[in-house]
Amino acid sequence: MTTTRKNTGRQRPSWFTRFWAVVKYEMLWNIRKKKFLGLIIVAFIFATLSWVLPVVLSATTDQAINANPNYAVTFSIPGIGIFLFALITAMNSISSEFESGTIIPLLTKPVSRSMIFLGKLLATLIIILVTYTILFVYVVIGGALVYGPQNNLHLVPLGLFGNVISTFIWIAIIIAAGTVSKSTTLSTLVAFGLFFGLFFAVPIVSVFAGPSPVLNYLPGSGASGTMMTTQGQIGIGAGTDNIGANLINYALYSSANVGFNMTHIELQGDQPLITQVFAYSEPISLITSRAVVTAVVYTIVFLFIAWIAFKWAQILE
């Protein structure tokens, strides 16, 4: 649908036509990045190894592979993988447009800055969604071939959705850092610093000082606990990086509780005695919903910061 501009007398093209052009522009940028293609190859290599190695081991040790009907449904991209996918897809999104000067011709086209910002976000979402979908389908097929028929396959999209939410926190942080600093190097350093800072600090703090409630509201892997189920003990990460896995855990064991321990160190003579002491427990429903809300809040806040910075950026160079 078009309307006519009162001053220029030109037909105003539809919002969607212009918006989709931005999406296309960003998607082509992303899928042609060598580092993105490299990351996909690495992700598929790891996914392949996870079922090829058991086959190789089975062949060399003459032991049959045990059937694992929950292999596919319990698959989740690890925290570092989520972070790297976010970094590779978002690190160049806005900051490198400023650095390379390509932002100038883009901003002088009849597309508003909000349109460009939203278009870039949608392109990133599509890229992540398509990549994860292919990866999850690959894992389901591989799992079925190696570990036999798979159960609860209808829950796989839920896990995929959770992984996308987890990825988007990091995408929002990286885009915000890149838009404010207009520097890819700086935004990458900020993202790496934050990810690895939390990656190492949170488990250490939660082990020795107890899983503080604050840790549950930070992005990343969060506090580690264990959940007792009819299938046995399952390790749980309470942070935002594990939303995909926890959504599945909640769907499968909705009334289960997760126990968190802390490390107790006591000196007995000259020797320290290290014991694990029960700290507290929380239902999986609370852990999952809290992580989802935390992720959504972080994503909205950082994207809002990025949007404001982008909207008001002046092109001085």
The Cα–Cα gap between 171 and 86 comes to: 5
Our finding on whether 63 is near another protein (CB under 8 A) is no
In the complex, minimum distance from the CB of residue 40 to another protein, in angstroms, rounded to a whole number? 16
Chosen residue from 54, 65, 113, 158 binding another protein by CB under 8 A: 113
Stretch that binds another protein, among 29-37, 41-49, 231-239, 258-266 (CB under 8 A): 29-37
Backbone angles phi, psi at 3, to 5 degrees: -125, 160
Quick count: other Cβ atoms within 10 Å of Cβ 263? 15
> Could you say whether residue 275 binds another protein (CB under 8 A)?
no
Q: Which amino acid is at 200?
A: F
Residue 17 interacting with another protein (CB under 8 A): yes
Q: CA-CA distance, 42 to 12, in Å (whole number)?
A: 45
Which residue lies nearer to another protein by CB, 7 or 61? Answer: 7
The correct pick among 40, 68, 70, 107 for binding another protein (CB under 8 A) is: 107
Q: Does 209 bind another protein (CB under 8 A)?
A: no
4 binds another protein (CB under 8 A): no
**Interface with another protein, residue 2, by CB under 8 A:** yes
Residues 70-88 as b or e (16 or more Cβ within 10 Å = b): bbbbbbbbebebbbbbbbb
One residue of 66, 108, 268, 271 binding another protein per CB under 8 A: 108
CB closer to another protein out of 32 and 154: 32
- Shorter beta-carbon distance to another protein: residue 111 or 121: 111
Q: How far is the CB of 17 from another protein (least distance, A)?
A: 5
The nearer residue to another protein, 37 or 189, going by C-beta atoms, is 37
What is the C-alpha end-to-end distance of the chain, expressed in Å?
37
Nearest CB to another protein, comparing residues 112 and 212: 112
CA distance 168 to 79: 12
101 in contact with another protein (CB under 8 A):
yes
User: Interface with another protein includes 32 (CB under 8 A)?
Assistant: yes
Minimum Å gap between C-beta 162 and another protein is 31
**Out of 11, 233, 254, 275, which residue is the one contacting another protein (CB under 8 A)?**
11
Name which of 184 and 246 has its Cβ closer to another protein.
184
Task: Kindly state the smallest distance separating residue 168's Cβ from another protein, in Å.
Answer: 24
Q: Which position among 60, 61, 64, 105 is part of the footprint of another protein (CB under 8 A)?
A: 105
Gap between the Cα atoms of 223 and 259, Å rounded: 11
Nearest one of 47, 51, 70, 50 to 251, comparing CA atoms = 70
Which residues contact another protein by CB under 8 A?
A: 2, 5, 7-8, 10-14, 17-18, 20-22, 24-25, 28-29, 32-33, 100-102, 104-105, 107-115, 311, 314-316
